[in-house]
Structure 1
Amino acid sequence: MFYAYLRGLVVFLLWIINGNVHYHHRERIIDKDDNYILVAPHRTWWDPVYMAFAARPKQFIFMAKKELFNNRIFGWWIKMCGAFPIDRDNPGQEAIKYPVNMLKKSQRSLIMFPSGSRHSTDVKGGVAIIAKMAKVKIMPSVYVGPRSFKGLISRERIDMNFGNPIDVSDIKRMNDQGIEEVSSRIQKEFQRLDEEVAPFHTDQKPSVLWFFIRIPLAVVALVLVILTLIFSYIASFVWDPDKHRK
């Protein structure tokens, strides 16, 4: 329940800040009753929110670097939303074992950025191995829009485009050759999705009246954020998401 609430709150905040998002080909998204790995090139801090919102009501788990869990409130938030910590320098077997187990035994899918970071475009092999071991498909998507907060708040257009599911069941072994084949399929689909959405992506911005409309909405959002922060701080001492998850 908290996952759905926090997802809605963050999207509401992004709508107030930007309010110019467009979703394309959501009908391609795999049925909500089936688990899958939702992947995209990691281009901003906020693209996973748009990904998760577009694929609702499906809920997700996702990897997050361990440093993000140090803050009491933010760390509790992302734990409640299904995040699990990863040591980027030494990821270990848990980086594979935990998402595979969740994809097999829970109702949550996985959001993953195959490139690893916002500064890389190379598709890594982790997503291929997890998909093969969990026997799930890979659902590609792309975010096209502002990559700075200045662009976001000035209401530059955002486009989220979803592609065709990628089945890896035909690949017998996830050795170097198998991983390279999966990476190639993902990268080609990313490129196709970028090209597909390019004609829709323009620099035209909505009416300036929006800047006046969002002032009272911002006040409402601020109240909700403050109440959520207070609740989260108190709840972090009472409810341990890790114990509940186990």
Structure 2
Amino acid sequence: MGLYHFARSVCAAIFYPKYKIKVEGKENIPANGPLIVCSNHISNMDPVVVGITMKRDVYFMAKEELFKNKFLGGLLRRVHAFPVKRGMKDRQALRRALDVLNDNETLGLFPEGTRSKDGKLGKGLAGAGFFALRSEASVVPCAIIGTYKSKEPLRVVYGAPIEMKDLRERKASSQEVTDVIMKEIQFLLDENQ
């Protein structure tokens, strides 16, 4: 068992009972092929929650600052995270993300780019749309509902893959595609709260 699978097992054993995690819509996650999972972002723990509730390995971008510490950076790389420079075009991170999709793996994205301060869904950045347009990946919306403090269960809801064919054929802009993705995440939030 590699470090990723070991870490996922350990985190699942801790997180599921601690946050009473309930997962819905796992049947919406394609078993193979390139996949982009786009979720709202309410906590630093969201990548762990998405990682343990998916039946596939998930690769995440993480802010470059986290990789400055050699130990932490090495650990993050071994659990499928890779650095991204925030606030600028980072060609290396873009290439790495596209490589993940070209290898038929799963890319986890938080299109808002940062955690929500008030729990409400913010505007999505164009990056999610960029990856959706530059690949043949299925795009699955995800909503993390609840708080990490409440006695209520934390719910993770995966929606049906978003129909991308028309958007790709008519060469929609990256921002337009991101807006469609965000609309689907908001729909999951509205339907399940």
What band does the TM-score fall into relative to the shorter chain? Answer: 0.7 to 0.9
Q: Distance in 1 between matches of 2:186 and 2:5?
A: 31
Contact between 2:36 and 2:132, CA under 8 Å: does it hold in 1? yes
Partner SS for 2:123: coil
Equivalents in 1 of 2:111, 2:63: separation in Å? 14
Distance (Å, rounded) in 1 between the aligned partners of 2:16 and 2:142: 20
Mapped to 2, the partners of 1:37 and 1:75 lie a distance apart of 23
Say yes or no: does 1:157 pair with 2:153.
Answer: yes
Q: In 2, distance between residues paired with 1:76 and 1:173?
A: 41
| Offset, 1:83 | 1.1
Q: Which position in structure 2 is the counterpart of 1:35?
A: 34
**What is the match of residue 110 of structure 2?**
113
- Secondary structure of the residue aligned to 2:157 is strand
Query: % of aligned pairs identical?
Result: 25
Letter in 1 for 2:178: S
* 2:81 paired with 1:83: yes
Q: Secondary structure at the match of 2:111?
A: coil
Letter of the 2:24 partner, please give it.
H
> Match for residue 197 of structure 1?
192
Distance 2:90 2:71 in 1: 26
In 1, the alpha carbon distance for the partners of 2:160 and 2:46 equals 19
SS at match of 1:170: helix
* Secondary structure of 1:157 counterpart: coil
Contact 1:132 1:169 in 2 (8 A): no
Unaligned runs of 5+ in 2: none
1:210 alignment counterpart: none
What is the rounded CA distance, in whole Å, between the counterparts of 2:192 and 2:48 in structure 1?
19
Q: Deviations over 1:50-89 (max 9, x none)?
A: 2122211x11211011111123332222100111111113
Which is greater in Rg? 1
Correspondence 1:94 to 2:92:
yes
Q: Cα deviation per residue 1:94-142 (whole Å; 9 max; x = unaligned)?
A: 23221112211x2421001111000371111111111211211211001
What is residue 20 of structure 1 aligned with on the other side? 20
Return the alpha-carbon distance in structure 2 between the equivalents of residues 74 and 82 of structure 1. Answer: 13
**Residue deviations 1:215-239, cap 9 Å, x none?**
xxxxxxxxxxxxxxxxxxxxxxxxx
Three-state SS of the structure 2 residue aligned to 1:134 is coil
- How many residue pairs were aligned? 187
Task: Please tell me whether the aligned partners of residues 140 and 163 of structure 1 are also in contact (alpha carbons under 8 angstroms).
Answer: yes
Q: Tell me if structure 1 keeps the 8 A contact 2:35–2:137.
A: yes
In structure 1, runs of 5+ residues without a counterpart are 199-246
More helix by share: 1
8 A Cα contact 2:129 2:176, kept in partner: no
State the alpha-carbon separation in 2 of the partners of residues 69 and 95 from structure 1. 13
The match for 1:3 is 4
Question: Is the 2:146–2:153 contact (alpha carbons within 8 Å) kept by the matching residues of 1?
Answer: yes
- The two structures have a TM-score, normalised by structure 2, of 0.87
Report the Cα distance in structure 1 between the residues aligned to 2:101 and 2:146, rounded to whole angstroms: 30
Q: What amino acid does structure 1 have at the position aligned with 2:26? A: R
